[in-house]
Structure 1
Amino acid sequence: MDEGKKNIYDVYTLHLVRWKLDLFDSVQKNVMDGVLKLVEKQRNGETIETAMVKSIVDSFVSLGLDENDSSKSTLDVYREFFEKPFLEITNVYYQLESKQFVAENSVVEYMKKAETRLSEEEGRVHVYLHPDIMIPLMKTCQRVLIQEHKTLLHDEFQVLLNNDRQDDLKRMYNLLSRITEGLEPLRTKFEAHVRKAGLEAIEKVANENADDNLEPKVYVDALLEVHEKYSSLVKIAFKEDTEFVRSLDNACREFVNRNKVCKAASSKSPELLAKYADSLLKKSAKAAEEADLESKLDSIMTVFKYVEDKDVFQKFYSRMLAKRLVHATSASDDAETSMIGKLKDACGFEYTNKLQRMFQDMQISKDLNDSYKEWMNNTLDEESLKTAVDFSIQVLGTSFWPLTPPNTPFNIPQVITKTYDRFQTFYFQKHSGRKLNWLWHLCKGDVKATFAKSSKVPFTFHVSTYQMAILLMFNDATSYTYEDIESTTSLSRDYLDPSLGVFIKAKVLNIEPASSKVGPGTTLTLNTDFKSKKIRVNLNMAVRAEQKQETEDTHKTIEEDRKLLMQSAIVRIMKSRKKLKHAVLVLETIAQIKSRFTPKVPDIKKCIDILLEKEYLERLDGDRLGYLA
């Protein structure tokens, strides 16, 4: 037998050929009408004999003979006489049903219906239709059930968002993801909705709290609550679709950086975020458990991701870290290290370099204290050692610590002068050529007080060095005028008045005239009737005015650093490019430093002018700039 030749067949194939030529053409329409009626019955909820339909489908498929090669088969007959009419009738059926259903039911109910119908049609393919029909059948159903009603679905999206209908939003996403450009209007509405929700949440906390009294935790929690809610929605309803994730990120970036709280100062978000981090990392009665603390630090990084002015966060964070280290108020070294690691992962080594060097200085200082004690033991006689003040020191590198020397003169109390001189001698023997700047405003100590009649046990006052200098004066007299104290300590009134204010508030000192404000013309007297439930009394408390001044100083430093950063970026770009148009240089400068903060175009132009004056750059023809080596 010759196989594969035109018009030469085996017996079975010959029967199929004769069946197609003699009978099929005359009966196929009636057969197909019967099949379509059966399918319609099933779509209407009736039970049919699916095996019979499958055998008919198989029959259509088996008639697909290749006229040029009898050993091969095609789906031409099946597609022409079964698939085509099946798709046409499916289109008509669902057009009628969907229009009628939409007119009588809610959009949510329609989505459920469409979801069910699509699932049923997929099931038909698996049970009795040929696999070849799956793609065209789904396209037909999706066009009729989804594409032709997409405007209706898009309009309903906002209603579902407003009412937190997560399951229905998931259903809508699944339907619209089946058609081209079905999701784009949803993403746009989702981004606007999240941005609005974030702005409203911040407006609410801003209205409930004055700017100066806004708790960092309250602010950050409000940001996180909105992010967590819609992040969960993206994960569950939108299958972590990258475009919806991008929309969420865009919205969060907007309400984190531009909200009612930020109107007063655009850098408020990073400042409050740094202060919240400080509250978590500082020792307190409410200190979080280690696992809980780690989770909260991760939450801080969630908000940090959206902060545009990352340099502001860095400045405030480094100042607060410095205080935690200097005053030994860190809740956990591991937590501090973990947070720095997170910041390093987010922004790179340069961002955290100074923070890590601060930790190194603390370790060096521990070793230095041990060396100093050893030196004392080898240098001082027994009597001098007995009378020596218990003392520890921290020597901090100027380049790495965001600490500035105090802007007030200060007469060191006689009691600690010996200690001061001894350490200077020890240190300069060890490190000749170095200079020590004493940060008296950060020094503190304990003073034993035996003046109170109410207690046989001496009180221990924990005080700043400035407060110590004031208290030690009362070893020689029980009363001093304001002018006496000012003269003896040499402290400026910006430092003297808050220190005296704490003593008066704690009733360690009495002021005369009574109820008067601390200042010239007043007299301060030791209160021998002083009482306290605690033997150890902390009087070294930050004064609000000092905190406000620190914040202002930090912002000034940020502005100065930004100018230098912009100038450095401009010089780097011009050194590399040699010549550039003014507008191009501005754009490239923004691109280089936007990871740290978003520079304003007028500020960049000012920096360009400064560099022109300094002759780093020169003006060329046609609005171009040149680099001067």
Structure 2
Amino acid sequence: MRHPEEYIEALVAVRDQFYDVAKRAFGLDPLMRTALDQACRSFTNSHPSLPELLAKYTHVLMTQSAKYASDECIEKRVEYVGVVFCLLDDKDVFKAMYSKLLSKRLIQGGAMSMDVELSLIQKLRDICGCEFVSKLQKMFSDKIISTNAHLAYTTWKEERDQLGSSTVECWFDVLTAGVWPIPTPTQDVELKLPAVCQQQVHLYATFYGTQSTGRRLHWVHHMSHGVLRMVLPSRSFEVHANYHQLVMLLLYNTRDSCSVHELETLTGFSKTDIQYHMQPLVKVLPKYTQLSAPKAKAAATSHELSDDRKMTMQAAIVRIMKARRESSFANLLSESAQMLAMQFVPTPAFLQQNLDILVDKEYIRLAPQQLEHADSATPPAASRSHAAVYIYVA
């Protein structure tokens, strides 16, 4: 969907319309309000890609907020995000996509207003609590600390007469590992910076070592980006490029043409990466912003979310069983749904899958009567039915 803002705002308009009817006709009677909330949640979550659409809506709002007439218009749309987010079942999917887009805005400087960003984070915190937004808030803290570190770095270079030692101006962001949703490059591929940037990298590493003892920098070069000035016979251009594009474009300072095989040899990039990152440089960009993740990245994100959900589900089961010591499947489903309501809605099949995993790991076990039933009548897998009773293994 090219324009997620149209879909999200249409959802809010439908919801507001029927809330207005319920208010005028029924005085928002508690039973009517409950029924209306359930109906709104049902039609809102009928779109399978709603979490992604809502995250894209926030991205458009934060990067194009200048197109809105006033601060009131922006605040109104932040409220829209809160309304749809409250109705959303898969809040963890939204959080994963939102954090990726937020990191992109913070690293690449795409946010139009930090105040609006923080107001949205505050709204998510009011709805889901501090734990839900703890990593998002830490990302902002890292950005503020990096800004202060850059000022200190500039002063440090001035004191050592290093300020004019390079024609390249570099900015370094120091990010906390495990907080930012940044993919880690494969261990067998060593990414190298262009030679013009290597000196600045070594200089900043020296500065950082004097400021933070006991800490080690792990460079994530594939997240770098920059602005290149291209001087052609007819005119000059400023090209905003990512790391891969920077490395490849700088090769043309010493040559007029370069084959794909030569690019592979000189950069160490794979043929797939070269084709993917070169494509925007040789084709005209469409008029709309393409926000959809590539299929490989989307599949990786889905796999990560699945693993995170399993760990979260198993942790919830263990917490419940530790408190109850013994519980039926129905009670586990009810209590885990309440515990995880601010992240996702667990299905009976998903709960059963994770119960089986915990049984195999010997964190919990079936009650004796369930085991007797399994031995006498049915196979063990079938005995772990929705009527099963589980016991916590201390």
In 2, Cα distance between equivalents of 1:621 and 1:484: 68
Alignment of 1:350-361 (within 5 A): 350-361=131-142
Name the counterpart of 1:393: 172
Which letter does structure 2 place at the counterpart of 1:628?
A: V
In 1, Cα distance between equivalents of 2:224 and 2:68: 25
Deviation at residue 609 of structure 1 after TM alignment: 2.0
Is it true that 1:244 corresponds to 2:32 in the alignment?
yes
Name the counterpart of 2:393: 628
Name the counterpart of 2:233: 453
Name the counterpart of 1:296: 77
Give the 3-state SS of the residue equivalent to 2:19 in structure 1.
helix
Q: Structure 1 pair 343/544, CA: closer, same or farther in 2 (3 Å)?
A: closer
Is it true that 1:470 corresponds to 2:248 in the alignment?
yes
TM-score computed with the length of structure 2 as normaliser: 0.87
In 2, Cα distance between equivalents of 1:543 and 1:436: 33
Is it true that 1:415 corresponds to 2:162 in the alignment?
no
Is it true that 1:234 corresponds to 2:39 in the alignment?
no
Q: Deviations over 1:162-217 (max 9, x none)?
A: xxxxxxxxxxxxxxxxxxxxxxxxxxxxxxxxxxxxxxxxxxxxxxxxxxx35311
Q: Structure 1 pair 599/288, CA: closer, same or farther in 2 (3 Å)?
A: farther
In 1, Cα distance between equivalents of 2:332 and 2:162: 68
In 2, Cα distance between equivalents of 1:223 and 1:274: 15
Q: Deviations over 1:415-469 (max 9, x none)?
A: 111112222222233334433333333211122222x2212xx322221121111
Deviation at residue 581 of structure 1 after TM alignment: 3.4
Name the counterpart of 1:330: 111
Unaligned residue ranges in structure 1 (runs of 5+): 1-212, 263-267, 507-537
Give the 3-state SS of the residue equivalent to 1:360 in structure 2.
helix
- Asked whether the equivalents of residues 445 and 468 of structure 1 are also in contact (C-alpha less than 8 Å), the reply is yes
The two structures, once aligned, show a CA RMSD in angstroms of 2.4
- Asked whether the equivalents of residues 56 and 291 of structure 2 are also in contact (C-alpha less than 8 Å), the reply is no
Deviation at residue 555 of structure 1 after TM alignment: 2.3
- Asked whether the equivalents of residues 405 and 438 of structure 1 are also in contact (C-alpha less than 8 Å), the reply is no
Alignment of 1:215-226 (within 5 A): 215-226=3-14
Number of aligned positions between the proteins: 373
- Asked whether the equivalents of residues 405 and 437 of structure 1 are also in contact (C-alpha less than 8 Å), the reply is no
In 2, Cα distance between equivalents of 1:542 and 1:628: 53
Name the counterpart of 2:340: 593
In 1, Cα distance between equivalents of 2:70 and 2:295: 31
Alignment of 1:187-266 (within 5 A): 213-258=1-46, 261-262=47-48
Q: Structure 1 pair 250/284, CA: closer, same or farther in 2 (3 Å)?
A: closer
Deviation at residue 563 of structure 1 after TM alignment: 0.4
Give the 3-state SS of the residue equivalent to 2:258 in structure 1.
strand
Which letter does structure 1 place at the counterpart of 2:315?
A: S
Deviation at residue 244 of structure 1 after TM alignment: 2.1
- Asked whether the equivalents of residues 364 and 390 of structure 2 are also in contact (C-alpha less than 8 Å), the reply is yes
- Asked whether the equivalents of residues 406 and 440 of structure 1 are also in contact (C-alpha less than 8 Å), the reply is no
In 1, Cα distance between equivalents of 2:292 and 2:218: 24
- Asked whether the equivalents of residues 287 and 331 of structure 1 are also in contact (C-alpha less than 8 Å), the reply is no
Give the 3-state SS of the residue equivalent to 1:403 in structure 2.
coil
Name the counterpart of 2:377: none
Q: Which has the higher contact order (CA 8 A, sep 6+)?
A: 2
In 1, Cα distance between equivalents of 2:4 and 2:166: 46
Which letter does structure 2 place at the counterpart of 1:278?
A: H
